[in-house]
Amino acid sequence: MFLRFIEFSWLAGIGVVFLFFAFGIVEMNLVSSQQIVVVGCGRLGTSLHNALVRAGRLCSDGPKGRGENGEGADLVILCVSDRSIQEASEAIDPGPLVVHTSGASALTLLEKHDRRGILHPLLSVPDGSSNFDGAYAAVRTAQLSDQSILLELISDLGMNPLYVKEQDRAIYHAAASLASNALVALQVNASELAAIANVPPAAINKLAQASLDEVGKQGVAALTGPASRGDWQTVAIQRNAVLSATPHLLDLFDATTAECARLAGYSWSAQTIVASERDSSIIIARTVQELTEAIARVCRDGARVGFVPTMGALHMGHAKLIEIAATCCDCVVTSIFVNPKQFESPAKLLAYPRDEVHDLKIAKEAGAAIVFIPSVEDIYPPGFVTSVKPGPIADVLEGEFRPGHFEGMVTVVARLLGLVQADVAFFGHKDAQQLAIIKQLVSDLAIATEVQGVDTVRESDGLAMSSRNVHLSPSNRNRALALSRGLTAASLLAAQGEQNPQKLEQVVLLELEAESLSVDYVSLVDAIDFCNVTTLDRPCVLAVAATVDEVRLIDNISISPLSASL
């Protein structure tokens, strides 16, 4: 009986222990008891071995050299060069989980082993005492059952896991190279420049660390300096200094400046500065202060100042505005500013064409004396919160299809008119609704600038000039002619006495439908308030908007009873 009780007690004890393990009442880390061998005595191998020892993992005595067979090991970590991975893995006897630490190499280099994987620490290892805590590591295993072993290993090292697909391995490693090696190269070169000004490397390194901290918080918004705000005058001064002191770094300076400008929404190249410096007949103002000084210097007391605001991507339509301004004004100021408030999304803002060299050439040849190219911060400085509400006229036609567009437009025009203080500003009739809104703005706010409209400039075949025309293929350009053909037909019909808005609109629609264009609107409206009319008994605008294979175009004609003009 006593023996039976002993037997029962022993069996019950085993059962309780089993239940404890099964339900996690007693925690046992089986992975931590595995024997680990690190192969590779370089910086990574030494650092990883030391870190594993500090984490309490069972490691062999020191990292092993190549040729180690991994006898008795449960996990072998190969910290060798990419070209030595396969050779080192061939020396390992089958059985343990074998992983390499390369971000560039595939699992196939370990094909001798059924249990294989990748553990790539995403950090720089300058010596054998590097700390892995807080770093990330790319993890991949051939067998899902082995993944938990690597996950617990990196957890013990204080690291965070990353999962990179095989097809993404090359781009992942390229990103890692840019973030490490490219950054090192930039820092070394920046320190070389700073040393010329007797600035110690520690100061540059401190700046770089702060920038890295900010980019982690803000992304591209962490950009700072002249290239990020479009201050090309300061960029030109910097570039000349680099060219004089360290000409071998000029290409690097140009490339990084161009990339910073691109990320900030600008288009810049070294040719921009070269062209600007070569051109002494035109003044380029990039800040409000420079604009004020330029106007005071060029447009002397009593001079009549003309103003042509643009968003760049200049064409012959813009040139015509500047030419007309130059014929009736003593001094013409042209602005080039891509207004972010007029775009529905950041993607469309970034996609807007920018070519400063081209724009400056057209502005100069057309007769501009001053070109104002401000940054976003100059137009909308910190604390700028004002918006101009354009009223009901902005709710129809373009306002319906581009919500918020006119509010952004009229706000920036009000700001620019206040900065330039021109006697007269010139706008094209092609944007007839915009022109009407600006006239209302100047009238309502008693702005002392006359607004003058200029007839739409057209190509020889009748297509209204637009910065968007460059996106039309030859075949789609022919289809786009339906807009001007339809408006011409309606104009002729109105000149013959037709006053029915529906019939005039239908003439345009027939041309658009014949080319299978996507139509937003065709509408005959009052020329002042852009309200629909029931008959052509006053000055009106016949406006059209249609899309030709994703390129949206607008056009219009002015129509009066018994007369029409295209």
Residues annotated as catalytic (active site), given as ranges: 318
CA dihedral sign, ordered 222, 228, 233, 237:
positive
| CA–CA dist 96, 15 (Å, integer) | 32
**Phi and psi torsions of 24, nearest 5°:** 75, 15
Going by C-beta distance under 8 Å and a sequence separation of 6 or more, which residues neighbour residue 170?
104
Is residue 115 classed as helix, strand or coil in its secondary structure?
Answer: coil
CB atoms within 10 A of CB 141: 20
Alpha-carbon separation of residue 208 from 176, 184, 205, 211, 230 (angstroms):
17, 10, 5, 5, 21
CA neighbor of 118 nearest in space, from 53, 72, 158, 172: 172
Structure-token pair, residue 85:
């991975």
Going by C-beta distance under 8 Å and a sequence separation of 6 or more, which residues neighbour residue 477?
463, 469
| CA–CA dist 309, 409 (Å, integer) | 11
Inter-helix orientation angle 201-218/183-196, to 10°: 140
DSSP letter (8 states) at residue 71: T
| CA–CA dist 304, 93 (Å, integer) | 90
Query: What is the edge-to-edge ordering of all strands in the sheet holding 58-59?
Result: 58-59, 35-39, 75-78, 97-100, 116-122, 136-141, 160-162
DSSP letter (8 states) at residue 179: I
| CA–CA dist 9, 17 (Å, integer) | 12
Structure-token pair, residue 298:
């060029």
- Using an 8 Å Cβ cutoff, are 402 and 345 in contact? no
Look-up of token digits 């339906």 = 482
| CA–CA dist 117, 140 (Å, integer) | 5
What string of DSSP letters covers 339-397?
A: -GGG-SSHHHHHHS---HHHHHHHHHHHT-SEEE---HHHHS-TT--------GGGSST
Going by C-beta distance under 8 Å and a sequence separation of 6 or more, which residues neighbour residue 108?
none
Structure-token pair, residue 112:
């001798």
Alpha-carbon separation of residue 81 from 63, 87, 126, 380, 472 (angstroms):
15, 10, 15, 53, 52
